[in-house]
Amino acid sequence: MSTVPLPPLADVLATAQVVALPLATRFRGVETREAVVFEGPRGWTEFSPFVEYPDAEASVWLAGALDFGWRDAPAAVRDAIPVNATMPAVAASEVRRILARYDGCRTVKVKVAEAGQVLADDVARVRAVREEMGPEGRVRVDANGAWNVDEAERAIHALAEFDLEYVEQPCAEVDELAQLRERIAYLDIPVAADESVRKAADPLRVARAGAADLLVVKAAPLGGVHAARRIVAEAGLPAVVSSALDTSIGLAMGAALAAALPKLDHDCGLATAALFTADVVASPLVPRGGVLPLERPRPTGTDLDRVAASAERRDWWLARLRRCYTLLELTRG
């Protein structure tokens, strides 16, 4: 986490707005995505840890928001980011409709292992995506750590016929990932780590353990663009920059990270604004021709009023922000 001095809390709260963005399709149990957006000297930034996260974890997201709002981004080595479509755990019949929201994307990340569903649902969904994308498209799957090692091996074997680019966080624990990686070596399907990086006390442990072939990194949960870039460098593994269902402001933070990485071999998961029916700006940060431009959204008062959260939710989020700010003060002495 950055040791840069914190801006005064009053400066953070002065422009803070709490927003609620409706989704076109339910995603990981979320139907409306809430966030706090506020403006720093470097531009608008976002605080949006998921509501169930405890304050200690959420405070790292606040550090990331402050980093993006108050510090210059690292120098960019590219001005556009190739991005993937994200497929929620929908019925196979819904795949075509959802893919139509992603202009020009040639890679799709498919959510699998959804609670209440079975492997046959995952197989049908991934098959439908592969049929829509054709043989040249890239298909990756994300289980969010929901499988044990045996379940993961069985599922990956069942999905291997669809020529997977990689499988993301198939199991929750680092030692499980390492064991699974050995078991499925014969399939030549790489293993990517997400939660084992962004939710870990030691985000580099998964790399040291040889438990993943690549890392999925999110800027805010890792403490900001600078911290996430440092983790990628120290891990020494290829990285995919992804979002946490961010608003267009949060996506700009992820794009700044992706733009600053020396190597970017995979399409990034930064096209998720396509899942919203409204956003914090009139022209959301969505892909055109499969790429996301490197730009920083500037919402107007009208933009923010259109997606303003209720007074009750505003109070809840601002109280959370204050608690997390206090935790950051304590950790920085």
| DSSP E strand stretches across the chain | 17-27, 30-40, 43-47, 80-82, 85-87, 107-111, 138-142, 164-168, 191-193, 214-217, 239-241, 291-293
Q: Is 34 within any annotated ligand binding site?
A: no
Kindly indicate the confidence band of residue 25, based on its pLDDT and cuts at 50, 70 and 90. Answer: confident
pLDDT attached to residue 28: 78
Residue pair 137/165 in contact (Cβ under 8 Å)? The answer is no
Crossing angle between the packed helical segments 55-70 and 248-260, to the nearest 10 degrees:
70
Q: Is 194 within any annotated ligand binding site?
A: yes
What residues does 146 pair with on adjacent strands? Answer: 171
Residue given tokens 């045996």 in the structure block:
150
Q: What is the DSSP string of 27-71?
A: ETTEEEEEEEEEEETTEEEEE---TTS-HHHHHHHHHHHHHHHHS
In CATH terms, 9-73+301-331 corresponds, of 3.30.390.10, 3.60.110.10, 2.60.40.10, 3.10.150.10, to: 3.30.390.10
Kindly indicate the confidence band of residue 54, based on its pLDDT and cuts at 50, 70 and 90. Answer: very high
Is the model's pLDDT at 26 over the cut of 90? Answer: no
Q: Is 168 within any annotated ligand binding site?
A: yes
Instruction: Parse the chain into domains and list their residue ranges.
Output: 9-73+301-331
In tens, the pLDDT along 122-179 reads: 999 999 999 999 999 999 999 999 999 999 999 999 999 999 999 999 999 999 999 9
Rounded mean pLDDT of 258-281? 97
pLDDT attached to residue 4: 74
Residues forming the active site: 111, 218
Closest listed residue to residue 232, CA positions, set 259, 270, 251, 250: 259
Closest listed residue to residue 238, CA positions, set 205, 214, 267: 214
| DSSP E strand stretches across 143-265 | 164-168, 191-193, 214-217, 239-241
